[in-house]
Amino acid sequence: MIRLALLVCLTACVFATAARAAAPAPTTRPNVLFIICDDLTTTAIGCYGNKVCKTPNIDRLASMGVRFEHAYCNWPLCLPSRNSFLAGRRPDAKYSAAGLLRERVPDVEFLPEHFRKNGYFTARVGKLFHTRTVFAGLPIKTLEDPACWDVSEVGGTDIDPCGYSVLFSSIPKGLESHPELQKITVEHELLNKAGQPAYDYWMEMAKLDVSDEQCVDGNIAARITQLMEERSKPSDGKPFFLAAGFRRPHLLWVAPKKYFDLYDWHAMELPREPADDLDDIPKIALTRRAPNMTDEQRKKAIAAYYACVTEADTQVGKLLDAMDRLKLWESTIVLFTSDHGWHLDEHGMWGKVSLFEESARIPLIMVVPGMTRDAQSPRTVEMIDFFPTLCELAGLSLPPKLDGASIAPQLRDPSASRDKPAIAVVRHGKTWGKAVYTERYRYTEWGDDASKGVELYDHANDPKEYTNLAKHPTAEQTAMMKEMKAILDREVHVKDGDVASPSGD
């Protein structure tokens, strides 16, 4: 543990020094294209092993750079995850509260804000921090920090102003109140009614007779492409930091019919899991379950999710095509990711807010001019590493209080050593879950002093996390859990009594 702590400290110092020493003139700094999907699990992506869901453009991007096999969010819930990686800091209860994070963490300097202060033109279209649904009123309420952006747009369309497609939901304010939307709806089905539209228990799909550009992600792709064209040869000489915040595959699953036509729900396979899968899992670790869904509804849900993944992938492809056309690859860093994963009935769960792989693990692909192509890195990464990484690659100094460490060494050499685990937290009711992820293991504690449960999974022998080794650990595993517990005690500062107004998503 002393060696690990020393290495992490030395690594952070070296990277910070290198970033400050290597600052080039503004005109030589690279552009940044930051692409983030919403609720996209690695298990639905071709280059991460899915053989059914069609993601040719994400796969194409992976062939051009480095794909990280063990990347994790720091809180598998939209708002705190995004607040955390944009701040470059480990989240606590303040990061999930409604409102702007700056109101509660006044000394924060966000990733795009830092680039803007250092001479970048910054723009976002779509969801980067967070966005409310249209039911919260017009204009659409967002939690985008105004200090971050020169251009800041929701990317909504006439049929979907907020990006959640809630106007197609089966509630009085939804589809039944909008005859104009009924005319373009080819098929519509509520698969699981619970909670409220746009949240994870409420699973609803609609197939539309519309173009991509009439939907939010198509509109976002078109607008980001326009900005790329405008900024490819800027009159002010500023490099760009453009952020495309795609909304799919977040619920509701609403998209052009052509994407649904790619997936026959009859052919979808449900997870095949041991009958005793849940017996050794602490009850507090299980959430977002849908016990009343039929197998038909579950298969339709998976097919609808895949349809929305492919819709998002198509929009990613449009950005890559624009990169080709504008000849930006030699001058632009591209980062592709998601704010967290999403369960598709694994362990009987749907949605996010769990610390299992399907929820906490994220896709991460980076393409950097002059660096490694078509490679995979097995090193463990977390989303708070984005901030120092992009700063180092752009030659920017680091603001204070960042908790991540640059992964630039792994972009140069994907096999380069990295003795740094990933850490995620989540809150179920008033109880915190805290997890450490390494290249092989996940260790999790629930409640203060692990009073409500402990988990340990060996991903080398149990990648689906069916056997909780913490129930009957070997002497070696006991020693390892003690070491991982020490990491949590040092790095995570949350208590079950922490108070914060929840964001709801």
Q: What is the pLDDT of residues 177-186, one digit of tens each?
A: 999 999 999 9
Q: Please indicate, yes or no, if residue 118 is contained in any of the structural domains.
A: yes
The pLDDT score that the predictor gives to residue 8 is 37
Average pLDDT over residues 159-180: 97
Question: What is the spatial distance between Cα 306 and Cα 263, in angstroms, rounded to a whole number?
Answer: 8
For 343, the domain range is 2-491
Is the predicted pLDDT of residue 13 greater than 60, yes or no?
no
Structure tokens at 342: 């999403």
Task: Output the pLDDT for position 28.
Answer: 84
10 Cβ neighbours under 8 A, 6+ residues apart: none
Query: Which amino acid, 135?
Result: F
Per-residue pLDDT for 4 more than 50? Answer: no
The CATH number linked to 284 is: 3.40.720.10
**pLDDT bucket at 146, cuts 50 / 70 / 90:** very high
Confidence of residue 1 (pLDDT cuts 50, 70, 90): very low
Q: Which of 59-63, 413-417, 499-503 has the lowest mean pLDDT?
A: 499-503
Q: Is 479 within a domain?
A: yes
466 within domain boundaries: yes
Residue 500 lies in a domain: no
Q: Is residue 502 part of a domain?
A: no
The pLDDT tens digits of the residues spanning 261-271 come to 999 999 999 99
Residue 376 belongs to some domain of the structure = yes
In the predicted structure, residue 411 carries a pLDDT above the cut 60: yes
What value does the CA radius of gyration of the chain take, rounded to a whole number of Å? Answer: 22
Is pLDDT above 70 for 380?
A: yes
Per-residue pLDDT at 10 exceeds 90: no
Burial 237-257 (b: 16+ CB within 10 A, else e): ebbbbbbbbbbbbbbbbbbbb
In the chain, how many domains are there?
1
DSSP string, 51-100: SSS--HHHHHHHHHSEEEEEEE-SSSSHHHHHHHHHHTS---GGGGBSS-
- Statement: residue 5 has pLDDT above 50: no
pLDDT range class, residue 498, cuts 50, 70, 90: confident
Q: What is the mean pLDDT of the chain?
A: 93
User: Three-state DSSP class for 13?
Assistant: helix
Confidence (pLDDT) at 287: 87
List, for residues 295-317, the tens digit of each pLDDT value. 999 999 999 999 999 999 999 99
Per-residue model confidence (pLDDT) at position 9: 40
Nearest to 398 by CA among 88, 91, 29, 145: 88
pLDDT at 2: 35
- Binned at pLDDT 50, 70 and 90, residue 499 comes out as confident
Q: Which of 80-94, 128-142, 349-363 has the lowest mean pLDDT?
A: 128-142
pTM over 0.85: yes
Closest to 364 measured CA to CA, from 94, 22, 36, 134: 36
Structure tokens of 501? 């107004």
Strand pairing report for 185-192 and 203-208: antiparallel
- Whether 496 is covered by a domain: the verdict is no
pLDDT average, residue stretch 276-294: 92
Looking at the predicted structure, is the pLDDT value of residue 190 above 50?
Answer: yes
What is the tens place of the pLDDT at every residue in 194-225?
888 988 789 999 999 999 999 999 999 999 99
In a domain, 497, yes or no: no
What's residue 291's pLDDT? 81
Write down the pLDDT at residue 50: 98
